[in-house]
Chains A and B, each alone.
Chain A
Amino acid sequence: MTDIPKALTHPLTHLVNLEQPLNIEQYQAQGGYQGASKALHDYSPKQVLDLISESNLKGRGGAGFPTGMKWSCVPMFSEDDENAPEFKYLVCNADEMEPGTFKDRMLLEGVPHQLIEAMIISAYTIGANRAYIFIRGEYHLAAERLQTAIDEAYKASWLGDKIQGTQFKLELYVHSSAGRYICGEETALINALEGKRATPRAKPPFPQVSGLFGKPTIVNNVETLSNIPHILKNGANWFKELSPNSDAGTKIYGASGRVKNAGLWELPMGATIREVLYQHAGGLQDGLALKGLLPGGASTDFLLPEHLDTPMDFDSIGKAGSRLGTGGLIILDDHNCPVAMVLNLLKFFAQESCGWCTPCRDGTPWVVEVLTRIEKGQGTLADLDTLNDLCDFMWLGKTHCALAPGAVEPLKSALRYFHDDFEQHIEKKCCPYAKGH
């Protein structure tokens, strides 16, 4: 194992330096911009697209949609086509606000040039000449480091007109978000970028056809994009072989909650929950036992200790009844109240609802109202029916976007797995986890 260079086993994180990220010379000295150079000089956009499709890269933002397929929906035009839009856009979604998720921050702060290189290749592939990094407002340091790196890239002719002597040009901007969770939804992000209310758009049309300012637009997550230079450099097969199972590449997994060693680890896609939790996060703090976990951020269903050996890839987690999401584990231990945890999460979702559609806008606060009463010991058994009804009310297909269904996932699974806890709150008329009980 030690023989293989880290660049080939930990492509995303091997150049991460959180103290002082590599400047452009240092980044290039470590093999940086080779992927972009290869793409711009040796490949046609179509060839890059084929390569990415072949690599089986899937989106790391939570939904796991194949990146190549997403890109292939962007209409391509010959140079003299009069129907060609004035602009196409590439947008990097760096609005990382999913509770329990902090992987993108490491990439943004630790290796900004990797993202810039990725965006050059991606923009070249879809024919975009303008690109935006829509970054979470609180990520001040990342925004600052990105801007420094972008300035370096302009100077070094990796951005701007005639990049590296080719005909390709790209303008790249950093846009700091005003801070709404809903901006993680790509069309809400686009609206926010346009200066409108951050409300998701109705689909179709999809952003690939009518996105930012009505023009063809691709929105990709930071981690997704960061894989691109390495796929260019090392090939699709290398990328597929990084992982022992059907989902290709590596994944940055995280763990938070009352574990011994919360943090982030780049592992081959499909590492088991047990591996992440016990090998890397060091297991739960002394005296605590695992009660449940959210495998990929706040908007995923709870899993139980019995699911520990599930590989953390899109399919396997799906079969276990949850979603891989962002791959950021949130651990619930046996000394914390699951009702309180769900209440906490739902308060977040109710707060972050954009206010557009009724089930989410008025459903999530209703859940909060009921959970608050239950947690205070003022609930009734009928409230559990109300909660189940509300889960149904806010479920997929009934709402305008995935926020409310995302809120339903931890609630619905908690009602199933921790039903006794809910009933005890009601029967004992208090929270059994509260101190003094």
Chain B
Amino acid sequence: MMTNSKKSTNKQSNNKQNTKNIDSTKATEKVTIYIDDVPYQVDKENNLLAGVLSQKLKLPYFCWHPSMGSVGACRQCAVMQYQDENDTRGRMVMSCMTPVSEGMRIGLTDKTSTKFREQVISAMMTNHPHDCPVCAEGGECHLQDMTVMTGHTARHYQGKKRTFNNQNLGELVGHEMNRCITCYRCVRFYKDYAGGEDFGAYGSKNQVYFGRQTDGTLESEFAGNLVEVCPTGVFTNKVFSTHFSRKWDLQSSPSVCSYCSVGCNTSIGERYGSVRRVMNRYNSTINGYFLCDRGRYGIGAVNASNRLKQTKGLHDENEALNELSIAKKLAHHAQERFIAIGSARASFEANRLLKQLVGRTNFSLGYSNNEMQLAVQHKQLLAQYPQPSLHAIEQHNDLVIIIGEDINQTAPRLALSVKQVLRKKGIDRAATIGIKPWQDSAVRTYAGNELTPLYSLQAKTTSFDKSAKQALVLSPEQLIATITEVTHLLSQFDPQNVVAMDKNEATNDSGNQSDNNKEISPWVGDFITALQAAEKPLLITGLSLQTPELLAAIEKLMACIASDKLACSPELIVVAPQCNSVGNLHLLNEQTLSLEQIQDKLLCQQADSLILLEQDLLSLTATKIAELRAHCKTLIVLEHHQSELATLADITMPVAAVSESDGHFVNYQGVLQAFAATLVPAAPIMSNWRWLIILAKTLFSHNHNHDHFSVNNNFRSLTQLHHYFAEQGEAWAVQILQAENSDVNRGNRGVAQQTHRASGRTAMIANQTMHEPKTVANSDRHYHFSMEGSSAEKSDNLPFTWAPSWNSNQAILQHQQEVNGDLINQQQENWLMFSFDEQLNDLWQNEVLESNASVDQDKLTLVQNLPWFLVDSQARVIPEFTLMFTGNTIELSPQLAEGKNLSKGSIAVITTAQGKFFATVKISKKLPDDLVVASIFELSCDHNMVAVTLTNASPAQVTQFNQQYEQRQQYAQQEKHHILARLKIQDQHIPIHLTSGGFDHA
């Protein structure tokens, strides 16, 4: 299992082939057009503007967006079109609205269109406030770039400027409407693309206003994209603005979002040792141009006050902390038998290394038996069904089924792609009358409300319900029963007799075939009819409901749809719980320990001590954790924040956050994606793998187990680690090295993370000192903490998006092979391969299946329904997110509420194994009577599908509830100011000596 298995089934390799084919459709058919009499090959299916920009020619634009298509509003991209080589007059056309054709002749530098483009800017600028010095967009402003590009250098308008009042749009997005040039991109993104409802264009003439009807927090989880979509400074990143730096002063690195399993590519920017912001990093197959706000603003966690900054138990008071002191301290524990628990939020390398240290029999992923069952099922599903990318689903799927996973909360970027899948039917229909997909407004007009069919089966209401053809809200038991029923009917489905399954007759005919007594819901008939019509249905599920039986039912359904009976090739996406969950599945084998097994081993004294790698053990109750601690001789915790377990630990090792370390996360598909440190962590904080190497040298160097890390290598770089695993024959490591090699062959000697502006680095800190800051030792990294090194385009992992003449994020078009295509130096994706392993089934059984334990009529189950910004425990330390939370609520069916003597707006006491919580009651008629859908701040995310009891709160408890909320809000406000004050003080202390590479380099 450790090495990349070569016994992949045929099915696996076939399917892999399919994914390759999907990606190869990105290659487009070309036509020749003449731009200023020079021939160019451009994409036949795209518009002229995309064609011109794909050639890296300078043609300004505003309203067009590579992902949102054309509407022809701004008129900035005008060019001349000529009939033939003798036509000298030509006709002005808007290139974004013009399809290309073979032999087309275009003027780009002619006087007429050049003058017109300058006029457009000069008209737009009549009302622009020219407040660039105080604008957060300054220096990376598309409007500035386009103004320069058109040659508009002087202002002639003498009239008064139009002014607007701005709105408070919440904690995340700033609003400065006077800067607006009315390109309509914001409303097209927010409403049309992302489906938001609380934002619009108001007014008319030169007083069009973009905002909400009244002040208030933007509701969409994609609102932060307005910052990047807006070509100027109307919408700005409010958090970034309060601790601001110009783009050119930021040091940036290519990173991967750690907030869910989608693996969106991000670019993190820092200055003076503190992270300032996250921007989208284009990836043609995953996130494209957009992130969700958990990813964009969640980076705040690395600056939070709860960061762990000191070691514990690694040196005596009178001694300095260094490798020697650590070795001395750890030597005491060398004889102990360690069990190590990895984590799905730590890098793939760290988990892999941890497993290597303790050996496969002493390694755990931190999962309970129940979670192990789910993990095994998840692994088997990955082996059978290669998971399509977000780009692929937007292109190909024609039916969507979402079961038991609220992707708006657990994988918002996937939800955004599903919204685009829903448009596909309309886009296809528009194509029948010759409307191209990029003709955005025309497609939307013609398609009307026509949506790709979506079937939603959830244990709560979700925001997809209104766009679903059918949306069922069922208890998990009902979900399983319904899926089983559908599977049963499908398995009996006779393709020769399709009429029998016709919508109207499904109820009678197939009902008779299967079970005379059983009535088939109209839902099922409709669903089966839709499946018959589909060519490429997409089923999306996840592990949130933590019910192995549900996943088993889904597996059978998938197998049934994939059988030859239906002429369709279904695809599956399993949303994994965390950013590296799928990576850890690769480490899972029959010897992997569950938490219950660990407990037994400690109890039976088969093991002494525990190492926890970035692990919160959130699924355990406080009592269980206390028990674990009591039976564990030494507890070593590697963690980046002051967690409960770090407090209980004997030894803590403060580890670097995602912004401070290198590594890979494995996304839901099994793709390894590299993230690089933006900045060097302040000692003694170190990358997790560096701490693990120290443990290897101290605790595990004399171990006799052959499986152990028996080399005396003093690994100083991640690349050395990769070499080690590559030598062990692990394919993932081989491929990482190959990719790095081809980068080097291309002349990439390490990409500069700082901008060229940093060439004046002695001047940059002149207010402090005239010393040149010491550059950071690189230890074989592929990125340099410096402005020296290869320029960004040598890599497919751009630290920042920049190109000559293009200072805004729109510069990405200069780095793409063609608009919306792969990056110029795109590397092949590094996929982990999974093989179907029957041995794993039934190894981790729940001792007592809770659902069978008691046939209690009144049994209530709690279903988590936290808003997207609180779904991850890391996100809860971010004050902006806390302030966005409007208070604990639970949703109940009217019958349940009545039975518990609760009514809308009353306060309920919710009791689970984790404790007592309070929440305001909401009533939802759609819910089954045995579910309590809860949005409770204090409840940990892993605490889902648990038994719960409900009572009415006493007056004293109501007061307590209200106080809790007030205190939380007050604390968050204070915390916000506190963090900012701390970071601003830190800005004044510029470290002259920075190192990376552990203590030995200090």
Binding site for B on A (CB under 8 A): 180, 197-198, 201-202, 204-205, 209-210, 213-214, 350-359, 361-366, 369, 373, 386, 389, 393, 397-400
CA distance in complex: A273, B46 (Å): 50
CB nearest to B204 among chain A residues:
A355
From B73, B124, B205, B445, contact of A351 by CB (8 A)? B205
CB nearest to A368 among chain B residues:
B159
Q: Is B127's CB within 8 Å of the partner chain A?
A: yes
From B71, B72, B127, B445, contact of A362 by CB (8 A)? B127
Contact between chains at B76 and A358 (CB < 8 Å): yes
CB nearest to A383 among chain B residues:
B158
Contact between chains at A397 and B74 (CB < 8 Å): no
Contact between chains at B433 and A359 (CB < 8 Å): no
Residues of A within 8 A of B205 (CB): 350-355, 361, 364-365
Residues of A within 8 A of B126 (CB): 362, 365-366
Contact between chains at A353 and B204 (CB < 8 Å): yes
CA distance in complex: A234, B204 (Å): 46
Interface size on B, residues (CB 8 A): 43
Residues of B within 8 A of A400 (CB): 72-73, 75
Residues of B within 8 A of A363 (CB): 123
- Which one, B434-442, B475-483, B802-810, is touching chain A? B434-442
CB nearest to A202 among chain B residues:
B72
Contact between chains at B119 and A393 (CB < 8 Å): yes
The minimal Cβ–Cβ distance linking A362 to chain B, given in whole angstroms, is 4
The minimal Cβ–Cβ distance linking A125 to chain B, given in whole angstroms, is 21
Q: A357-B75, A358-B74, A386-B156 are in contact. Are A210 and B204 (CB under 8 A)?
A: no
Q: A202-B439, A350-B206 are in contact. Are A362 and B123 (CB under 8 A)?
A: yes
From A201, A351, A355, A369, contact of B158 by CB (8 A)? A369
CB nearest to A378 among chain B residues:
B158
Contact between chains at A202 and B442 (CB < 8 Å): yes
CA distance in complex: A399, B97 (Å): 12
Please, could you name 26 A-B residue pairs with CB atoms under 8 Å apart, sorted by A?
A: A202-B71, A202-B97, A204-B435, A210-B433, A210-B446, A213-B448, A214-B448, A353-B204, A353-B206, A355-B203, A355-B207, A355-B208, A356-B184, A357-B73, A358-B182, A361-B123, A362-B126, A362-B127, A362-B206, A366-B159, A369-B158, A389-B119, A393-B116, A397-B92, A399-B75, A400-B72
CA distance in complex: A397, B204 (Å): 22
Known: A205-B445, A400-B72. 16 other contacts (CB 8 A): A201-B445, A204-B435, A210-B435, A214-B447, A350-B206, A355-B182, A355-B203, A355-B206, A357-B75, A358-B120, A361-B123, A362-B123, A362-B124, A362-B126, A373-B158, A393-B123
Contact between chains at B75 and A209 (CB < 8 Å): no
The minimal Cβ–Cβ distance linking B660 to chain A, given in whole angstroms, is 45
CB nearest to A213 among chain B residues:
B448
Contact between chains at A359 and B120 (CB < 8 Å): yes
Q: Is B157's CB within 8 Å of the partner chain A?
A: yes
CB nearest to A372 among chain B residues:
B159
- Ranked nearest first, the 4 interchain pairs of A and B with the lowest CB-CB distance are A369-B159, A362-B123, A355-B208, A210-B446
Q: Is B91's CB within 8 Å of the partner chain A?
A: yes
Q: Is B201's CB within 8 Å of the partner chain A?
A: yes
Residues of A within 8 A of B50 (CB): none
Contact between chains at B206 and A398 (CB < 8 Å): no
Q: Is B78's CB within 8 Å of the partner chain A?
A: yes
Contact between chains at A366 and B157 (CB < 8 Å): yes
Contact between chains at A369 and B157 (CB < 8 Å): yes
CA distance in complex: A356, B184 (Å): 8
CA distance in complex: A356, B446 (Å): 20
A-B pairs with beta carbons under 8 A, tally: 110
CB nearest to B202 among chain A residues:
A197
The minimal Cβ–Cβ distance linking B858 to chain A, given in whole angstroms, is 48
Contact between chains at A357 and B72 (CB < 8 Å): yes
Most A-side CB within 10 Å, residue of B91, B126, B439: B126
The minimal Cβ–Cβ distance linking B621 to chain A, given in whole angstroms, is 53
CA distance in complex: A366, B91 (Å): 25
The minimal Cβ–Cβ distance linking A288 to chain B, given in whole angstroms, is 34
CB nearest to B121 among chain A residues:
A358
From B78, B97, B127, B439, contact of A398 by CB (8 A)? B78
The minimal Cβ–Cβ distance linking A367 to chain B, given in whole angstroms, is 11
Residues of B within 8 A of A389 (CB): 119
CB nearest to B76 among chain A residues:
A358
Residues of B within 8 A of A204 (CB): 434-435, 442
Most B-side CB within 10 Å, residue of A180, A350, A356, A393: A356
CA distance in complex: A359, B182 (Å): 12
CA distance in complex: A202, B447 (Å): 15
From A205, A213, A356, A386, contact of B442 by CB (8 A)? A205
The minimal Cβ–Cβ distance linking B584 to chain A, given in whole angstroms, is 48
Residues of A within 8 A of B447 (CB): 214
CB nearest to B91 among chain A residues:
A397
From B120, B204, B445, contact of A214 by CB (8 A)? B445
Residues of B within 8 A of A364 (CB): 205
From A209, A355, A358, contact of B124 by CB (8 A)? A358
Contact between chains at A202 and B76 (CB < 8 Å): no
Contact between chains at B204 and A354 (CB < 8 Å): yes
Interface residues of B in 113-143 (CB under 8 A from A): 116, 119-120, 123-124, 126-127
CA distance in complex: A204, B443 (Å): 11
Residues of B within 8 A of A205 (CB): 433-435, 442, 445-446
Residues of A within 8 A of B73 (CB): 356-358, 400
From A201, A214, A351, A359, contact of B75 by CB (8 A)? A359
CA distance in complex: A361, B206 (Å): 5
Residues of A within 8 A of B208 (CB): 355, 361
Most A-side CB within 10 Å, residue of B73, B124, B158, B205: B205
CB nearest to B116 among chain A residues:
A398
Residues of A within 8 A of B445 (CB): 201, 205, 210, 214
The minimal Cβ–Cβ distance linking B913 to chain A, given in whole angstroms, is 51
CA distance in complex: A198, B182 (Å): 16
CB nearest to A86 among chain B residues:
B448
CB nearest to A212 among chain B residues:
B445
Q: A209-B433, A393-B123 are in contact. Are A365 and B74 (CB under 8 A)?
A: no
CA distance in complex: A363, B76 (Å): 14
Residues of A within 8 A of B181 (CB): 358
Contact between chains at B124 and A197 (CB < 8 Å): no
The minimal Cβ–Cβ distance linking A406 to chain B, given in whole angstroms, is 15
Residues of B within 8 A of A198 (CB): 204
CB nearest to A400 among chain B residues:
B72
Most A-side CB within 10 Å, residue of B71, B116, B434, B445: B445
Q: A355-B205, A400-B75 are in contact. Are A366 and B123 (CB under 8 A)?
A: yes
Bitwise, B422-444 to A at CB < 8 A (1) or not (0) is: 00000000000111000101100
From A202, A354, A358, A397, contact of B123 by CB (8 A)? A358
Residues of A within 8 A of B441 (CB): 201-202
Contact between chains at A197 and B201 (CB < 8 Å): yes
Residues of A within 8 A of B74 (CB): 357-358
The minimal Cβ–Cβ distance linking B162 to chain A, given in whole angstroms, is 8
